[in-house]
Amino acid sequence: MTAELNFLDLFLKASIVVQLVIVILISFSIISWAIIIQRSRILTNALKEARTFEDRFWSGEDLNKLYEGLSNRRDGLTGSEQIFCVGFKEFSRLKQVNPDAPEAIIKGTMRAMNLAMNREIESLESRVPFLATVASVSPYIGLFGTVWGIMHAFMALSGAKQATLQMVAPGIAEALIATAIGLFAAIPAVMAYNRLSLRVNAIEQDYGNFIDEFTTILHRQAFGKAPH
């Protein structure tokens, strides 16, 4: 037996079951990293866009002109822009349909904006739960591969007259690599899931604050006070 065994040697000498486990875990790791990179970029852009729109919203621009400008944009609206457009459109519609019921107008507008916010959050959270799944199951899949590999290694010794450490060590090493890869897939996944979840929560808080602030402005308009 050589002093060192590289990963390819361990993989090729492992049993079919252990090889399958390793392939599954490596696939989980690759998919997880793709999700981490994609979601991190999307969440960073979403937070940046939310702050940029809020600066524009509070710049004193007329709400009608702001709504018209966003509605005429060819690219799709997301985040605070989408929530604003949904809310302003619903507010205008309800005000025309039932102008003498300001409370109903405000409640209907808030309901529409909250639904829009929920859709935005669902979009931001897309694929993130997969990271939690990888973090939960990967160690157990790796452990299964290890147990199977060790069992396979000892079964291979059943016909030997004398079992030595040199005979069983390669088989155990091949089996333990499954646990190592399981942890390699799980640890980044759980760390990224927690971090991404915190960022989604922060963005949701920003959206919620915007809805409250926008509702206050619409409340003044609905009750005939000075508009924004």
Average pLDDT score, the chain? 87
The answer to whether position 164 is within a domain reads: yes
Q: Give me the mean pLDDT over the 120-146 stretch.
A: 95
Q: What is the pLDDT of residues 68-105, one digit of tens each?
A: 999 888 677 889 999 999 999 999 999 998 888 889 99
Give me the amino acid identity at 217.
I
pTM of the predicted structure, to 2 decimals:
0.83
99 or 130, higher pLDDT: 130
Measured from the Cβ of residue 198, the count of other Cβ atoms closer than 10 Å reads 11
Q: Is the pLDDT of residue 43 over 90?
A: yes
Q: What is the pLDDT of residue 10?
A: 73
Nearest to 56 by CA among 89, 36, 15, 84: 84
The answer to whether position 1 is within a domain reads: no
Cα-to-chain-centroid distance, residue 42: 10
In which element (H, E) is residue 95 found? helix 79-97
Q: What is the pLDDT of residue 149?
A: 84
The answer to whether position 33 is within a domain reads: yes
Q: What is the pLDDT of residue 226?
A: 41
The answer to whether position 228 is within a domain reads: no
Cα-to-chain-centroid distance, residue 102: 38
Counted domains in the chain: 1
Q: Which domain holds residue 100?
A: 7-222
The answer to whether position 209 is within a domain reads: yes
Q: What are the strands, taking DSSP E only, across 115-178?
A: none
Distance from C-alpha of 100 to C-alpha of 103, rounded to nearest angstrom: 9
Q: What is the pLDDT of residue 142?
A: 94
Where is mean pLDDT largest: 2-6, 85-89, 150-154, 165-169? 85-89
Distance from C-alpha of 80 to C-alpha of 146, rounded to nearest angstrom: 49
217 or 1, higher pLDDT: 217
Give me the amino acid identity at 34.
A
SS3 label, residue 36: helix
The answer to whether position 99 is within a domain reads: yes
The answer to whether position 2 is within a domain reads: no
The model's confidence at residue 8, banded by pLDDT at 50, 70 and 90, is confident
Q: What is the pLDDT of residue 144?
A: 93
Half-sphere exposure of 203 (CA within 13 A, CB side): 29
What are the residues whose beta carbons fall under 8 Å from the beta carbon of 33, sequence distance 6 or more? 188
